[in-house]
Protein backbone atom coordinates (compact mmCIF):
# COMPACT_ATOMS: atom_id res chain seq x y z
CA UNK A 1 0.00 0.00 0.00
CA UNK A 2 1.30 3.46 -0.85
CA UNK A 3 0.49 6.79 0.68
CA UNK A 4 -1.52 7.62 -2.42
CA UNK A 5 -4.08 4.93 -1.54
CA UNK A 6 -5.93 7.23 0.85
CA UNK A 7 -4.27 10.46 -0.18
CA UNK A 8 -7.29 12.30 -1.56
CA UNK A 9 -6.18 15.64 -0.09
CA UNK A 10 -2.50 15.18 -1.00
CA UNK A 11 -1.30 15.13 2.61
CA UNK A 12 0.47 11.77 2.43
CA UNK A 13 4.00 13.09 2.00
CA UNK A 14 3.68 15.31 5.10
CA UNK A 15 1.15 13.82 7.52
CA UNK A 16 0.96 10.22 6.32
CA UNK A 17 -2.24 8.68 5.04
CA UNK A 18 -5.43 9.58 6.89
CA UNK A 19 -3.43 12.48 8.40
CA UNK A 20 -1.84 10.03 10.84
CA UNK A 21 -5.07 9.58 12.83
CA UNK A 22 -6.58 6.57 11.13
CA UNK A 23 -5.95 3.41 9.16
CA UNK A 24 -6.26 3.24 5.39
CA UNK A 25 -8.07 0.11 4.24
CA UNK A 26 -7.31 -0.28 0.56
CA UNK A 27 -9.60 -3.28 0.16
CA UNK A 28 -12.68 -1.23 1.10
CA UNK A 29 -13.64 1.00 -1.83
CA UNK A 30 -14.56 4.59 -1.16
CA UNK A 31 -18.25 5.21 -1.81
CA UNK A 32 -17.59 8.51 -3.55
CA UNK A 33 -14.31 8.29 -5.47
CA UNK A 34 -12.82 5.43 -7.47
CA UNK A 35 -9.30 4.15 -6.76
CA UNK A 36 -9.28 5.61 -3.26
CA UNK A 37 -9.23 3.45 -0.15
CA UNK A 38 -11.23 4.14 2.99
CA UNK A 39 -9.90 5.79 6.15
CA UNK A 40 -11.04 4.24 9.42
CA UNK A 41 -10.48 7.07 11.90
CA UNK A 42 -9.33 6.80 15.48
CA UNK A 43 -11.85 7.72 18.17
CA UNK A 44 -12.24 11.48 18.38
CA UNK A 45 -11.12 12.18 14.81
CA UNK A 46 -13.13 12.66 11.63
CA UNK A 47 -12.87 13.87 8.07
CA UNK A 48 -16.29 15.50 7.98
CA UNK A 49 -16.14 19.27 8.04
CA UNK A 50 -17.70 22.47 6.78
CA UNK A 51 -18.00 22.60 3.00
CA UNK A 52 -15.99 19.41 2.50
CA UNK A 53 -17.19 15.89 3.23
CA UNK A 54 -14.03 13.94 3.91
CA UNK A 55 -15.65 10.99 5.69
CA UNK A 56 -13.68 7.89 4.78
CA UNK A 57 -11.04 10.02 3.06
CA UNK A 58 -9.23 11.69 5.92
CA UNK A 59 -9.04 11.97 9.71
CA UNK A 60 -7.64 15.46 10.14
CA UNK A 61 -10.33 17.08 12.30
CA UNK A 62 -10.22 16.77 16.09
CA UNK A 63 -13.89 16.55 17.09
CA UNK A 64 -13.57 17.72 20.71
CA UNK A 65 -11.28 20.61 19.77
CA UNK A 66 -13.79 21.95 17.27
CA UNK A 67 -16.74 21.40 19.61
CA UNK A 68 -15.04 23.20 22.48
CA UNK A 69 -14.01 26.14 20.33
CA UNK A 70 -17.53 26.46 18.98
CA UNK A 71 -18.78 26.38 22.57
CA UNK A 72 -16.41 29.21 23.47
CA UNK A 73 -17.42 31.15 20.37
CA UNK A 74 -21.10 30.69 21.24
CA UNK A 75 -20.59 32.39 24.60
CA UNK A 76 -18.37 35.08 23.07
CA UNK A 77 -20.90 35.91 20.36
CA UNK A 78 -23.69 36.01 22.93
CA UNK A 79 -21.67 38.60 24.88
CA UNK A 80 -21.04 40.53 21.66
CA UNK A 81 -24.78 40.51 20.92
CA UNK A 82 -25.51 41.70 24.47
CA UNK A 83 -23.00 44.53 24.13
CA UNK A 84 -24.48 45.59 20.79
CA UNK A 85 -27.97 45.48 22.31
CA UNK A 86 -26.72 47.66 25.18
CA UNK A 87 -25.38 50.16 22.64
CA UNK A 88 -28.79 50.12 20.93
CA UNK A 89 -30.50 50.80 24.24
CA UNK A 90 -28.19 53.74 24.91
CA UNK A 91 -28.84 55.16 21.46
CA UNK A 92 -32.60 54.77 21.88
CA UNK A 93 -32.51 56.55 25.24
CA UNK A 94 -30.48 59.41 23.78
CA UNK A 95 -32.20 59.82 20.42
CA UNK A 96 -35.79 58.84 21.09
CA UNK A 97 -37.89 58.53 17.94
CA UNK A 98 -34.94 59.64 15.81
CA UNK A 99 -33.27 56.34 16.69
CA UNK A 100 -35.12 54.45 13.95
CA UNK A 101 -34.01 56.75 11.15
CA UNK A 102 -30.25 56.62 11.77
CA UNK A 103 -28.13 54.24 9.71
CA UNK A 104 -25.66 53.79 12.57
CA UNK A 105 -28.39 52.29 14.75
CA UNK A 106 -29.46 49.93 11.97
CA UNK A 107 -25.87 48.71 11.80
CA UNK A 108 -25.76 48.11 15.56
CA UNK A 109 -29.08 46.23 15.42
CA UNK A 110 -27.67 44.09 12.62
CA UNK A 111 -24.60 43.43 14.77
CA UNK A 112 -26.91 42.27 17.57
CA UNK A 113 -28.75 39.92 15.22
CA UNK A 114 -25.46 38.64 13.84
CA UNK A 115 -24.20 37.82 17.34
CA UNK A 116 -27.41 35.95 18.15
CA UNK A 117 -27.24 33.88 14.95
CA UNK A 118 -23.57 33.06 15.50
CA UNK A 119 -24.22 32.15 19.13
CA UNK A 120 -26.99 29.73 18.14
CA UNK A 121 -24.75 28.29 15.42
CA UNK A 122 -21.94 27.69 17.91
CA UNK A 123 -24.28 26.27 20.56
CA UNK A 124 -25.74 23.75 18.10
CA UNK A 125 -22.27 22.66 16.99
CA UNK A 126 -21.14 22.28 20.59
CA UNK A 127 -24.25 20.36 21.65
CA UNK A 128 -24.41 17.97 18.70
CA UNK A 129 -20.86 17.75 17.36
CA UNK A 130 -22.26 18.36 13.87
CA UNK A 131 -21.12 20.97 11.36
CA UNK A 132 -22.66 22.82 8.44
CA UNK A 133 -21.82 19.86 6.22
CA UNK A 134 -23.79 17.33 8.25
CA UNK A 135 -26.65 19.44 9.63
CA UNK A 136 -28.97 21.50 7.45
CA UNK A 137 -30.10 23.52 10.49
CA UNK A 138 -26.52 24.50 11.32
CA UNK A 139 -25.90 25.26 7.64
CA UNK A 140 -28.86 27.67 7.62
CA UNK A 141 -27.67 29.53 10.74
CA UNK A 142 -24.11 29.59 9.43
CA UNK A 143 -25.24 30.90 6.04
CA UNK A 144 -27.59 33.49 7.52
CA UNK A 145 -24.95 34.91 9.85
CA UNK A 146 -22.29 34.85 7.14
CA UNK A 147 -24.47 36.66 4.63
CA UNK A 148 -25.48 39.25 7.23
CA UNK A 149 -21.84 39.96 8.03
CA UNK A 150 -20.37 40.02 4.53
CA UNK A 151 -23.43 41.28 2.70
CA UNK A 152 -24.51 44.05 5.06
CA UNK A 153 -22.55 44.60 8.28
CA UNK A 154 -19.02 44.91 6.94
CA UNK A 155 -20.01 47.56 4.41
CA UNK A 156 -22.25 49.39 6.90
CA UNK A 157 -19.57 49.80 9.54
CA UNK A 158 -16.95 50.69 6.95
CA UNK A 159 -19.19 53.46 5.63
CA UNK A 160 -20.07 54.69 9.13
CA UNK A 161 -16.42 54.93 10.15
CA UNK A 162 -15.67 57.07 7.11
CA UNK A 163 -18.73 59.24 7.78
CA UNK A 164 -17.58 59.82 11.37
CA UNK A 165 -14.04 60.75 10.33
CA UNK A 166 -15.15 62.96 7.45
CA UNK A 167 -17.69 64.74 9.68
CA UNK A 168 -14.83 65.83 11.94
CA UNK A 169 -13.32 67.79 9.05
CA UNK A 170 -16.49 69.95 8.87
CA UNK A 171 -16.34 70.37 5.10
CA UNK A 172 -19.82 71.80 4.64
CA UNK A 173 -19.32 73.95 1.55
CA UNK A 174 -17.09 74.35 -1.47
CA UNK A 175 -15.74 72.15 -4.22
CA UNK A 176 -14.05 69.76 -1.81
CA UNK A 177 -17.29 69.21 0.08
CA UNK A 178 -19.13 68.58 -3.19
CA UNK A 179 -16.46 66.09 -4.28
CA UNK A 180 -16.72 64.18 -1.00
CA UNK A 181 -20.51 64.22 -1.13
CA UNK A 182 -20.50 62.79 -4.66
CA UNK A 183 -17.99 60.12 -3.67
CA UNK A 184 -20.03 59.15 -0.59
CA UNK A 185 -23.22 58.91 -2.64
CA UNK A 186 -21.46 56.61 -5.08
CA UNK A 187 -20.16 54.56 -2.18
CA UNK A 188 -23.67 54.20 -0.78
CA UNK A 189 -24.87 52.91 -4.15
CA UNK A 190 -21.99 50.42 -4.41
CA UNK A 191 -22.70 49.07 -0.93
CA UNK A 192 -26.05 47.75 -2.14
CA UNK A 193 -24.24 45.38 -4.50
CA UNK A 194 -22.29 43.78 -1.65
CA UNK A 195 -25.27 41.74 -0.49
CA UNK A 196 -25.81 40.28 -3.96
CA UNK A 197 -22.18 39.13 -4.19
CA UNK A 198 -22.40 37.53 -0.74
CA UNK A 199 -25.69 35.73 -1.41
CA UNK A 200 -24.41 32.89 -3.66
CA UNK A 201 -21.42 32.32 -1.36
CA UNK A 202 -23.75 31.28 1.46
CA UNK A 203 -26.40 29.56 -0.62
CA UNK A 204 -23.57 27.16 -1.50
CA UNK A 205 -23.16 26.35 2.21
CA UNK A 206 -26.77 25.14 2.36
CA UNK A 207 -26.49 23.21 -0.91
CA UNK A 208 -23.39 21.42 0.39
CA UNK A 209 -25.37 20.19 3.40
CA UNK A 210 -27.73 18.33 1.06
CA UNK A 211 -25.17 17.13 -1.48
CA UNK A 212 -22.50 15.05 0.30
CA UNK A 213 -20.40 14.16 -2.76
CA UNK A 214 -16.83 15.40 -2.08
CA UNK A 215 -16.18 15.74 -5.79
CA UNK A 216 -18.96 18.30 -5.88
CA UNK A 217 -17.70 19.83 -2.65
CA UNK A 218 -14.44 20.73 -4.34
CA UNK A 219 -16.46 22.88 -6.72
CA UNK A 220 -18.59 24.36 -3.93
CA UNK A 221 -15.51 25.15 -1.89
CA UNK A 222 -13.79 26.75 -4.86
CA UNK A 223 -16.78 28.97 -5.60
CA UNK A 224 -17.18 29.83 -1.89
CA UNK A 225 -13.60 31.03 -1.51
CA UNK A 226 -13.51 32.71 -4.91
CA UNK A 227 -16.60 34.73 -3.95
CA UNK A 228 -15.04 35.66 -0.61
CA UNK A 229 -11.97 36.83 -2.45
CA UNK A 230 -14.25 38.96 -4.64
CA UNK A 231 -16.12 40.25 -1.56
CA UNK A 232 -12.89 41.29 0.11
CA UNK A 233 -11.65 43.05 -3.02
CA UNK A 234 -15.00 44.77 -3.58
CA UNK A 235 -15.31 45.99 0.00
CA UNK A 236 -11.76 47.30 0.21
CA UNK A 237 -10.83 48.42 -3.28
CA UNK A 238 -14.20 49.41 -4.75
CA UNK A 239 -16.17 50.68 -1.73
CA UNK A 240 -13.83 51.93 0.98
CA UNK A 241 -10.48 52.96 -0.48
CA UNK A 242 -11.74 55.36 -3.20
CA UNK A 243 -13.58 57.42 -0.56
CA UNK A 244 -10.68 57.29 1.90
CA UNK A 245 -8.13 58.19 -0.76
CA UNK A 246 -10.22 61.13 -1.98
CA UNK A 247 -10.56 62.43 1.57
CA UNK A 248 -6.86 61.89 2.24
CA UNK A 249 -5.87 63.85 -0.87
CA UNK A 250 -8.11 66.71 0.20
CA UNK A 251 -6.57 66.78 3.66
CA UNK A 252 -2.95 66.66 2.53
CA UNK A 253 -3.58 69.31 -0.13
CA UNK A 254 -3.82 71.89 2.66
CA UNK A 255 -0.58 73.84 3.19
CA UNK A 256 1.62 72.40 5.90
CA UNK A 257 1.57 75.59 7.95
CA UNK A 258 -2.25 75.65 8.02
CA UNK A 259 -2.62 72.19 9.56
CA UNK A 260 -3.53 72.26 13.23
CA UNK A 261 -3.31 69.29 15.58
CA UNK A 262 -6.85 68.19 14.74
CA UNK A 263 -6.11 68.21 11.02
CA UNK A 264 -2.91 66.23 11.54
CA UNK A 265 -4.82 63.70 13.65
CA UNK A 266 -7.42 63.32 10.90
CA UNK A 267 -4.73 62.81 8.28
CA UNK A 268 -3.16 60.13 10.45
CA UNK A 269 -6.52 58.39 11.01
CA UNK A 270 -7.29 58.26 7.31
CA UNK A 271 -3.76 57.12 6.47
CA UNK A 272 -4.03 54.27 9.01
CA UNK A 273 -7.48 53.36 7.69
CA UNK A 274 -6.18 53.15 4.11
CA UNK A 275 -3.17 51.12 5.19
CA UNK A 276 -5.18 48.66 7.27
CA UNK A 277 -7.79 48.30 4.53
CA UNK A 278 -5.07 47.30 2.10
CA UNK A 279 -3.47 44.94 4.62
CA UNK A 280 -6.80 43.31 5.44
CA UNK A 281 -7.61 42.98 1.76
CA UNK A 282 -4.24 41.38 1.01
CA UNK A 283 -4.54 39.00 3.97
CA UNK A 284 -8.09 37.93 3.08
CA UNK A 285 -7.10 37.44 -0.53
CA UNK A 286 -4.08 35.35 0.47
CA UNK A 287 -6.21 33.15 2.75
CA UNK A 288 -8.95 32.62 0.20
CA UNK A 289 -6.51 31.88 -2.60
CA UNK A 290 -4.68 29.41 -0.34
CA UNK A 291 -7.87 27.51 0.48
CA UNK A 292 -8.89 27.72 -3.15
CA UNK A 293 -5.70 26.41 -4.72
CA UNK A 294 -4.10 23.94 -2.30
CA UNK A 295 -5.80 20.53 -1.84
CA UNK A 296 -3.82 20.15 1.39
CA UNK A 297 -6.09 22.80 2.96
CA UNK A 298 -9.42 21.77 1.48
CA UNK A 299 -10.49 19.73 4.47
CA UNK A 300 -9.10 22.17 7.07
CA UNK A 301 -11.87 24.69 6.51
CA UNK A 302 -13.60 23.85 9.79
CA UNK A 303 -10.58 25.14 11.71
CA UNK A 304 -10.33 28.25 9.57
CA UNK A 305 -14.02 29.07 9.88
CA UNK A 306 -14.26 28.98 13.68
CA UNK A 307 -11.12 31.06 14.26
CA UNK A 308 -11.92 33.53 11.47
CA UNK A 309 -15.39 34.23 12.81
CA UNK A 310 -14.14 34.69 16.37
CA UNK A 311 -11.75 37.36 15.12
CA UNK A 312 -14.80 39.41 14.10
CA UNK A 313 -16.01 39.80 17.70
CA UNK A 314 -13.67 42.61 18.85
CA UNK A 315 -14.15 44.43 15.53
CA UNK A 316 -17.93 44.43 15.92
CA UNK A 317 -17.76 45.55 19.56
CA UNK A 318 -15.44 48.43 18.70
CA UNK A 319 -17.60 49.43 15.73
CA UNK A 320 -20.76 49.36 17.87
CA UNK A 321 -19.11 51.51 20.54
CA UNK A 322 -17.75 54.06 18.05
CA UNK A 323 -21.07 54.55 16.28
CA UNK A 324 -23.25 54.60 19.41
CA UNK A 325 -23.83 57.81 21.40
CA UNK A 326 -22.90 57.79 25.06
CA UNK A 327 -25.66 58.26 27.61
CA UNK A 328 -24.69 60.42 30.54
CA UNK A 329 -26.60 62.39 33.13
CA UNK A 330 -26.66 66.13 32.69
CA UNK A 331 -25.46 68.17 29.76
CA UNK A 332 -24.72 67.34 26.19
CA UNK A 333 -21.82 65.01 25.67
CA UNK A 334 -19.77 64.28 22.62
CA UNK A 335 -20.16 60.56 22.01
CA UNK A 336 -17.56 58.22 20.59
CA UNK A 337 -18.70 59.22 17.12
CA UNK A 338 -17.49 62.74 17.73
CA UNK A 339 -20.96 64.20 17.23
CA UNK A 340 -22.57 66.15 20.04
CA UNK A 341 -25.57 64.28 21.40
CA UNK A 342 -28.34 65.60 23.63
CA UNK A 343 -28.39 63.12 26.48
CA UNK A 344 -31.18 62.26 28.82
CA UNK A 345 -30.90 62.42 32.57
CA UNK A 346 -31.09 58.95 34.04
CA UNK A 347 -32.79 58.29 37.33
CA UNK A 348 -32.38 55.43 39.70
CA UNK A 349 -34.79 53.86 42.13
CA UNK A 350 -34.24 51.92 45.30
CA UNK A 351 -35.07 48.69 43.51
CA UNK A 352 -32.09 48.98 41.16
Domain borders along the chain are 3-61, 64-341
Q: Over the chain, what HEC string results? A: CCHHHHCCCCCHHHHCHHHHCEEEECCCCCCCCCCCCEEEECCCEECEECCEECCCCCCCEEHHHHHHHHHHHHHHHHHHHHHHHHHHHHHHHHHHHHHHHCHHHHHHHHHHHHHHHHHHHHHHHHHHCCCCCCCHHHHHHHHHHHHHHHHHHHHHHHHHHHHHHHHHHCCCCCHHHHHHHHHHHHHHHHHHHHHHHHHHHHHHHHHHHHCCCHHHHHHHHHHHHHHHHHHHHHHHHHHHHHHHHHHHHHHHCCCHHHCCHHHHHHHHHHHHHHHHHHHHHHHHHHHHHHHHHCHHHHCCHHHHHHHHHHCHHHHHHHHHHHHCCCCCCCCCEECCCCCEECCCCCCCCCCC
Q: Does the domain at residues 64-341 carry the CATH identifier 2.60.40?
A: no
Please give the model's pTM, rounded to 2 decimal places. 0.79
Confidence label for 143 from pLDDT (cuts 50, 70 and 90): very high
263-279 tens-digit pLDDT: 777 777 777 777 777 77
Least confident interval from 27-41, 103-117, 337-351: 337-351
27-72 tens-digit pLDDT: 666 666 666 778 888 999 988 888 877 787 788 888 899 999 999 9
**In the predicted structure, residue 287 carries a pLDDT above the cut 90:** no
Amino acid sequence: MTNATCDYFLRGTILDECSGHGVCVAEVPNEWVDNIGKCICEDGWTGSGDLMNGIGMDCNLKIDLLRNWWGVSSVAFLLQAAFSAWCCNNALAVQGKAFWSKSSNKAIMNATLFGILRSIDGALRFATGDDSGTSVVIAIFHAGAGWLFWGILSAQFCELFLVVVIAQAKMDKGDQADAMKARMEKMHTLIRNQKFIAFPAYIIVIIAAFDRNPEHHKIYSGVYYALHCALSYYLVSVIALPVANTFYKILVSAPEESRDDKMKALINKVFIFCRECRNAGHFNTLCTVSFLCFPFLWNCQSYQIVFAWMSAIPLLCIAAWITSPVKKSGKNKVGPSGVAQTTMTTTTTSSE
